[in-house]
Every structure is written in C-alpha cells, then in structure tokens.
Structure 1
Amino acid sequence: MPAINASIQEVTVYNDRALITRRGTIHLPAGEHEVEVQNLPQHTIQRESLRAAGTGPEGTRILNVELQTQFYSRAPEEDLTRLDQEIEELEQQQRLLEAQQGALQDRQQWLRALGEESKEFAHGLSRGTMRPQDCTDFFRFAAQQALDDARASLDLHLQLQKLLQDIDARKRERQQKQGNQSPDRLTARVTIELPTEGDFTLELSYLVTGASWEPRYDVRVATSAEQETTGDVELTYNGMVTQQTGETWNEVRISLSTARPSLAAVLPELRPWYLKEHTPPVPFARAAQPAMRYSMLSASKIAESSDMPAGAPPLPPEPAAAPASISTAEIESSGAATVFHIGHSVDIPSDGSPHKTTIVIDKYPCEFDYVCAPALEKVAHLRGTITNTSASPLLAGQASIFLDGNYVGTTEIKLTAPGEQFRVFLGLDERLKVERKLTEANVEKGNLLQGDIRRLTYGYQITVQNYASTTRNIVVCDRLPVPQHERIKVRVTQLQPPPVERTKLELLTWKKALATDEKYTIDYRFVVEHPRDLRVVGLVPVEQE
C-alpha cells in the first residue's frame, strides 16, 4: 500500500486545540487505490474531525477515509528517534566506564593483597633469596601504582557523573516531547479512484488537543511622548503558542484564531424556572428507607426536587470548552471571529513551552495623565489611556511596559473592542512632588447640652507641585470616612476645591492641568461624632498620622 509523504503545511491554533492541515502528492495509475498517511498522533487527534480532500485528473473521487492504529516498539518521530539513539549511545558509554571502574577496583584489590604479603619479603631477606633492592623496587612500584589508580578512579568517577547528568537531561527532554503517551501512532487510509493515470494531491485535516495560544503585549513609550498630554505609544501584539500534540510543526504557516468552535456548535438549553412551595426536609430516621429510591433518580430530577431553595432557577448546563486563536500580521475578520495569519513560516516543537510570534506592531493614540493617591503613597504614576484604533479586538492578556527602552513592569490589558479604550500604568514620575499632611486633629467629649457625644475633627491638606518642564495633567484620588453604624455620624465641613467626582462611598477625585512650577492645594475637613460608650474602629490609623 503506497504511503504519501504528507507533511504539515498549515496550522490554525485555537485556545484549546489546533486544526492541522497536511498536504502531499503521489503519482498513481488509473483505478482504485488505497494510500496511507502515517505517524499521526494517537492520543491528541480528534478522530471525528478527520477530513480528506484532494486534486487530481478530472473525475478523481475520494471514496473513503479511516484511521487505524500502528503499533511501535518506540516512537517513530525523527526527533524522538534521535533522542533514543543519543540515550543508547550515552548508556553504552556508561557501561564502558562502569566496566573500567570494575577493572580498576580489581587491580586495587590485587595491590592490597600483595601488601598483606609483605612479611614474605622479610623471610626472603633473612634467607638470602631476595635482595634489599628488590624490596625497594617493589614498594616503589606498588606506591606509584596505587597513586595512579587513585587518580584514574577519580577521573572515572567524574566522567561517569557527567555522563549520568547528560543521560538524565536527554531523558527529560524526551519525556517533555512525548509525555506519558505510548509510542503507537495512527495511520489515515484514504481510498481514491482515478479515471486516468496522473498526480494526486491529498489534503488531510484534523483537530488535535494539547495546543493553545494567548496574547502578550509590549507597550513602549518614549520620554518625548510622555512629556505631552497626548501622543502615540507603540504596542506590539504577540501570540504565545504552546503545543504538546505529539507532532513537531516545522516550517508551517501559523494562524491564530479567536473562534470558539465548541461553543458555536452547541446552543445551551434554557430550562423552565419553577416556583414552588417549600417542603420541610424529611427527618433522617424516616428518610432512611426512601433513600434507595432517591438514589436512583436522574440528575435532572434531583435538581428539581424540594432540596432546591424556592425561587431558585435550575442549574444551567455545564458550558462546553471554548477554543480561541490568535496570529500574525495579516488580519481576517468574519464577524464572529478574528484570524491572525502569520506572514512567515515558523517552527514550534511539541515541548509544552510557549513560543512567541509577533502578530502586529502598531502605534495607538494615547492620552497621558499622572495619578496619585497620597493617602497610600506620595508618588505620581504616569497613566496612559490608549484607544484601540485597529479593526480587531485586543484580547485580555499581560503586557510588559517599557519607558525609553527600559523595562518598567507588567500590567494587565482587558478585552478591548475596536474603538474602546484601556488604561496602562507606565511608571513613576519623580518630577511631581506629592504630599498629604494632617493639619487638624481635635477631640471634644461633649457637655450637658450636647449629651454624651464624642466629637473628633480632622483636617487634611494635599499638595502637588510640578517640577517638570511641561504641563502635567494630574489626577488626585482620596477618600472620606464612611460610617457603617447608625450611631456614627460624619459631617464634611470643608472640601476645597470641590472634587470633580464624588461617589456614594466618599471616594474623591480631583483633576488639574498643572503648569511648570505650579502648586495645587486641596484642603478638606470633617467631623466624626459618636457616643462615648461606642468604640469606633477605623479612626486609629488616622489619629496616628
């Protein structure tokens, strides 16, 4: 049965799987033929996804395609075969070194045995059968041999130790590439019919698990840009592709897709929402007998039983796994999904490690401001509000921040649709001096007219001064205390200037375009009242400032 060398040509990666496309050509005579594509992954391929297409002489038909298991004593892949051969060669060297160690130990034992017979030299000297020179030569030889053997033993030990480390490294590499999968593989058998002799090009596609991708970003800002209130930032959109499918992707065209095939194929079923009278639970002793009957109910019946709280909707069906993909420079959108086609061939081994591929590098408009929260830290953070002006969404992912080429840190980018904005923090600016100080702290215990009321008055002043050479848009954030007990009262007696934002939880925000050398001052004062017998928690950190 002829085999087609159908190598992997294209891969579309989703968030939890990949679509593999293989192509190969074979010359066949007219008639019906069965051809094979060998060494497909056994444990990751989704058998029902196998599809075959092809081109050949006019009238060529594909009659059938099926998968069969190939049984191997060892994995047939070239890189795994290479590792197996390297491991065998290293283990052979290990056995040779161990044999040399054994021979050396035998010689050392022989020398020790000769040393134990030294009394025979004394008898030989006394009888005149040996000369003193003979004894001297022997002991000199034995001492030199023992020294040489010690050096050789140490050298063999070091060689063997290094060899064992190499063997362990190769075995770990092999384990990473193949995992715990068996060496068996699948063969796709395709039955075709050609009306005339000619070339037939087979295209075989299938889905595999064990592959995924996720976005990573690099956000780069130049000092010249952040000196202005608006500008551009360079955003590099990368896809981190990971695969452990059992196949090595060599010189393949990669596409990263945001499609979610598992969710697109299944519409969740909406069940009725029932309201019913609450039924008290059956006492344990009386419920012992019906327990066997209840244990035979289906999961859906149990979900509708009286154990569910009244008014609660039934549990929704478990969501299906959702795949997604992302890739390179050319972008293709089809409403429900976006596909990034990488503009060059890539190599991605089946090692489970992330491999970076660049999707697009582009400039995005950005508005800069400086945010500070003096109650927490007396520094100002440069913040960029970036607008996604591209035609495709920016998926949620981690971003590395660079300012003038220097690494600042990492942040998270949320899912951002075209035209939507997202914010990133780009580092600290030491040219803005931020201070917050306690200007007033008085405690009044009350009198006969006021009742037994304890009154605490606090005043704070926040100052921000701009020492930079250009105007800075600053955002100052602070807070006022919020009572969580009806006997605790808070009155704000001064708040100057008024904040541009004030939430129900008394989170305050001021905004100001601060010119060079200009100082911005905020003063606020509040009074906290509570009965003297009521201990208030939360004011202690304020009083200690």
Structure 2
Amino acid sequence: MDAPIVAVTVYPQHARITRRGRANLAEGTRVRITGLPLALDAESVRVTGTGAALITGVDVGYEQHAQPADPVLSAFADQRRADQAALDAVADQEAAEAAKVELLTGLAKRSGASFAKALASGVAGPARVEEVTGALGTQLAAALRTRRALTERLERMREDLAALDRRVASHSAQSEQDSSTVTVELEPQEDSGSVELELSYVVPGASWEPGYDVRVRETEVTITSYGLVSQHTGEDWPECELVLSTARPASTVVVPELDPWFLDRRQPAQPARPLAAFAAAAPGAAPAGAASLRRVAPKFAEVEQGATALTYRPGRAVAIPSGAQGHRTTLARLELTAELGYVTAPVRASEAYLRATVVNTSEHTLRAGRAAVFHDTEFVGTTRFDVWAPGEEVELALGVDDRIRVERELVRRTASKATLSGQRRREAEYRTRLTNHSPREAVVTVLDQAPVSRDEAITVRDVRATPDPVETDDLGSITWRLTLAAGATATATLAYRVDVAKGVELSGWRE
C-alpha cells in the first residue's frame, strides 16, 4: 500500500511520523507498507483506520535491498556511478596525454644528441634540424596544453563527486540499503470494499530547538520565537502538517523512587579487573510615502498549552528534506514591557551599558535557546535564554550607549613609611563622574569595589562611599544607583585605607 507522509510531530529529540493510505480488500487482506526508516522504534508503531474491516495484527520487519530503498538515495547512487565513469574516462585521457608528453620529451632529448652528430658530420643541414625540432616542440606544447586542461577538468569532476558524496551523507545519517516494513493483517467485515489505514511511528535523528528575535523599542519588548528543525531520519518530509512539541517521549516512563542510603566501613581498594566485551543486537517596515502598501507580517503558529508541554502548530504545510539543519519556522510573538536602565563598572571599563529588565507576563514557558537582540533597528548581538518561566525576570544587555559619559579618576593616593611599630599605611580615593547627554532621564547603576584582605597582617580600614550606596557586600563590592536628568551630572566617590604590618610585602595593590 502506498502511504505517503501526511503529518509530522517533532519533539526535542525524536519525531512521530504519520502516514495514510487506502487498501483495496479485494486484492487481499494483508497490507504491507515498505521503505520505512530502518531506525524506527518498533514499539511505537500504531495502526488505526476506517472501513469495513478489523485489524487483527501488526508486524514490523526489516528488508535488505540490492539498491537503496530511499528513491532519492537510489537516484544519488545512479548519478554517482555515471559521474564516476565520466571521471574515469577523463583520467584515462589525462594518463594518455601524460604518456605522450613523456614520450615527446624523451624523443626531444635523444634527437638533440643525434642532430648534433648529424650536423657535425654534414649528414643533415640546419634547415632540416630546425624543421624537425620545430615539429617536436609544437607537438610537445600541444600535449602539455591538453594535459593541463584535462588535469583541471579532472580536479573539478573530483570536487563535484565529493560534493555529491556530501549530499548523500547529509540526506541520511544511515546509508544502509535496508529498510523497515510494517505488515497489517485485516479481517474483512464485508465481501468487498476498501479501508483507509493510518500508520504512525517514532524515529530518532530529528530534533528542534527554539530561537528568538528580541526587539526593544523604548520600554516595549517584542519577542518573536521560532523553531529550528533538523532531521536526519533518512526520509524526506513532504509538505504536510508540522507540529513542534516540547514533550519528551521516553522509551521507559517510570516514577522515580528512592533506594536506601547505606553507610559502611571503607574497604581497601581491589585491583581492577578487565571488563568483558559485549555486543547488543539492535535494528539498526513599510517604505516612506507608500501609505497604500501593507507591511508584510509573519504568520504565527497556534499554541496549545498542555499539562506538561507546549505544542506549536504552524499555519502552513512545511516540507523538510532529510539532512536539513536548522530549518526555520515562526512560532509566536510576545509583547512585554521592559524597565530600561544603565550599568557601568568604571574600574574595568569607562562605558555605560544599556540594560532592559523584562518580566515574562505571558502564560507560556520559553525553552532555552539563542536570541538575537535588536535595539530599535540596530542589531546589538546575541545572547542565550535559559528556561524562562511565567512571572520570571531576566536582564537583556542592549550594548554601549555613548551618550552616558563615564570618567573615573584617582584624586588622592598616599603611602607612608614604616612607623615605630613597623606598620605601613596606604590610602586611595577615586571619583567617578557621570554625565547624561541623552534627551531623557537615565537611571545608572554604578559598580565599584574596595580591596579585601585575605591576611590578618593586612587590614582594610575607613572605607567611605559617597553618596551612600544602595548595596555593599563582604567582598568589597559597592553599588550606587544614580538618577540623572537630561544634561545632568553626578559623582560617586570611594576612599579607603590599607594598613600593612611590619615585614609584610603587599601584593595585589592596583597602581
């Protein structure tokens, strides 16, 4: 029975294929569906149908073929044989021309000595020598030219053959000339008629992962999600219903249980024994002035929220050939609100980075994946989302904003010599100056740090931060949050003192 693919559900690491076809009961009660992927999971095979018959049995078998079962691979094999024959023919011509070049070169060398003797003895004149050597030179030049052209042609043919081999490899991860077969036994309920059968099975070698485009405009964040589908199942998926699911089918579903946690006396280590070898058998935007033009918008998938998984149904039939890597289909769009702010760490770099804090106010959990971040129409860079649950907050870096100027300078540094107690003292004071050259108010988070001692002979004292920071910690980190009106300037000052005991050499001090 001919049963083409009518639907594909792609999971993060598998795919479920659905085929449908019609069988005539007058031609027999045993229906065979052949040419299926060798690696399909036999336990996942299910057959349903409609019509005047009962399904009494379903068997999965495997077939070996002299030729590849996949018609695409069979066509590739025929093309490769033809290309190889053409390459061999050109290689023979190139070898013949190489032999001709070698013969003419040797003849030219030998005739040079012979003509020298003939000229000396007067047997041959200069005109005859010129005539013969000219003919040899012309033939040799023509042979060299032909050999060079054949060599170049041979190299191109080898490159084309290698490209064909890569296409074959990418078309199917398995190039075996074997396939699976499903046999369905039917029991007719009427004398004649037909039944429509639907076959589904799960195959490995297929996966999908999410990707995102994040666009930030003022305080609005638009997140467009898409699915990147890859499949190396060995069969092409024609234009059919495509479903992407976040469910993770498992070969064995077991509720986890706890085993006892035993404590025992440590035993001496035993000498290692070699492991026995074993083998497991398995089957294998609109233009300006064009008000009448409508902006082209993407079509999004229908989203279904299940108990434990999301299902996306793209709004059109999709064809994905075997070997496809990262086939993209648009899934959904989220409209969120962002809180914009700046962060700078002038002790490391004198730039202010624009940052958006976004809360997932949708009802969907976004899977982990890469995201391309745009600020207005400018591409900022790429980042990676971890799993983003509803109500969870994430921070997006939107790049450097040169309109927020940051300057950090050392305003005081002293280093005293040892006192009577032998103790030495160092003091430093830094001032960070911020200027807002943007047309709107900016909230800037400033990060700085005081040194932290890891030796009792080195003491950090009198750490003074102005204005009062909003946060400090035991590792010396100091955080200010400064609000600057358009065109305004603000400063933050950090000072500290370090006492070093007698005879101790200080390391880690920043000059």
TM-score using structure 1 length: 0.80
**Counterparts of 2:132 and 2:431 in 1: how far apart (Å)?**
96
Contact 1:388 1:394 (8 Å CA) reproduced: no
**Counterparts of 1:431 and 1:251 in 2: how far apart (Å)?**
51
Question: Could you give the per-residue CA deviations for residues 412-465 of structure 1, whole angstroms, max 9, x where no partner exists?
Answer: 2221112222111011100001112222222335644xx333332221211111
Q: Give the aligned residue type for 1:210.
A: G
Residue 23 of structure 1 corresponds to which residue in structure 2?
20
Residue 193 of structure 2 corresponds to which residue in structure 1?
198
Shift of 1:408: 1.9
Question: Could you give the per-residue CA deviations for residues 367-387 of structure 1, whole angstroms, max 9, x where no partner exists?
Answer: 111111111111011111122
Shift of 1:138: 5.8
Structure 2 counterpart SS, 1:169 = helix
Aligned pairs for 1:353-368 (under 5 A) are: 353-368=325-340
Contact 1:255 1:328 (8 Å CA) reproduced: no
Shift in alpha-carbon separation, 1:445–1:250, aligned structure 2, 3 A = same
Contact 1:502 1:509 (8 Å CA) reproduced: yes
Question: Does 2:316 match 1:344?
Answer: yes
Gaps spanning 5+ residues in structure 1: where?
226-230, 297-326
Contact 1:413 1:423 (8 Å CA) reproduced: no
Shift of 1:468: 0.9
Structure 2 counterpart SS, 1:261 = coil
Shift of 1:263: 9.1
Question: Does 2:161 match 1:170?
Answer: no
Shift in alpha-carbon separation, 1:406–1:81, aligned structure 2, 3 A = farther
Contact 1:217 1:237 (8 Å CA) reproduced: yes
Q: Give the aligned residue type for 1:470.
A: R
Residue 254 of structure 1 corresponds to which residue in structure 2?
242
Shift of 1:252: 2.9
Aligned pairs for 1:270-281 (under 5 A) are: 270-275=258-263, 279=265, 281=267
Question: Does 2:441 match 1:471?
Answer: yes
Q: Give the counterpart of 1:96 among 80, 89, 104.
A: 89
Q: Give the counterpart of 2:142 among 133, 148, 152.
A: 148
Aligned pairs for 1:103-114 (under 5 A) are: 103-105=96-98, 107-108=100-101
**Counterparts of 1:132 and 1:483 in 2: how far apart (Å)?**
99
Q: Give the counterpart of 1:462 among 428, 432, 442.
A: 432
Q: Give the aligned residue type for 1:158.
A: E
Q: Give the aligned residue type for 2:26.
A: P
Q: Give the aligned residue type for 2:446.
A: V
Residue 35 of structure 1 corresponds to which residue in structure 2?
31
Structure 1 counterpart SS, 2:65 = coil
Q: Give the counterpart of 1:51 among 41, 46, 51.
A: 46
**Counterparts of 2:132 and 2:488 in 1: how far apart (Å)?**
97
Q: Give the counterpart of 2:211 among 205, 216, 231.
A: 216
**Counterparts of 2:126 and 2:368 in 1: how far apart (Å)?**
90
- Aligned residue pairs, count: 484
Shift in alpha-carbon separation, 1:122–1:493, aligned structure 2, 3 A = closer
Q: Give the aligned residue type for 1:38.
A: T
Shift of 1:250: 2.0
Contact 1:467 1:516 (8 Å CA) reproduced: yes
Question: Could you give the per-residue CA deviations for residues 316-352 of structure 1, whole angstroms, max 9, x where no partner exists?
Answer: xxxxxxxxxxx96211111211111222222222226
Question: Could you give the per-residue CA deviations for residues 379-409 of structure 1, whole angstroms, max 9, x where no partner exists?
Answer: 0111111222322111122211223433221
Of 44-53 and 131-140, the range deviating more from structure 2: 131-140
Q: Give the aligned residue type for 2:71.
A: E
Q: Give the aligned residue type for 1:51.
A: R
**Counterparts of 1:384 and 1:72 in 2: how far apart (Å)?**
59
Question: Does 2:182 match 1:188?
Answer: yes
Gaps spanning 5+ residues in structure 2: where?
277-298
Shift of 1:508: 2.1
Q: Give the counterpart of 1:8 among 5, 25, 41.
A: 5
Contact 1:445 1:532 (8 Å CA) reproduced: no
Shift of 1:181: 4.0
CA-atom RMSD in angstroms: 3.2
Structure 1 counterpart SS, 2:325 = coil
**Counterparts of 1:508 and 1:48 in 2: how far apart (Å)?**
60
Q: Give the counterpart of 1:426 among 398, 405, 429.
A: 398
Structure 1 counterpart SS, 2:6 = strand
Shift in alpha-carbon separation, 1:50–1:264, aligned structure 2, 3 A = closer
Residue 510 of structure 1 corresponds to which residue in structure 2?
480
Shift in alpha-carbon separation, 1:195–1:524, aligned structure 2, 3 A = same
Question: Does 2:460 match 1:490?
Answer: yes
Identity %, equivalent residues = 32
Shift of 1:281: 4.1
Residue 235 of structure 1 corresponds to which residue in structure 2?
223
Aligned pairs for 1:284-299 (under 5 A) are: none
**Counterparts of 1:53 and 1:427 in 2: how far apart (Å)?**
55
**Counterparts of 1:261 and 1:404 in 2: how far apart (Å)?**
40
Shift in alpha-carbon separation, 1:137–1:438, aligned structure 2, 3 A = closer
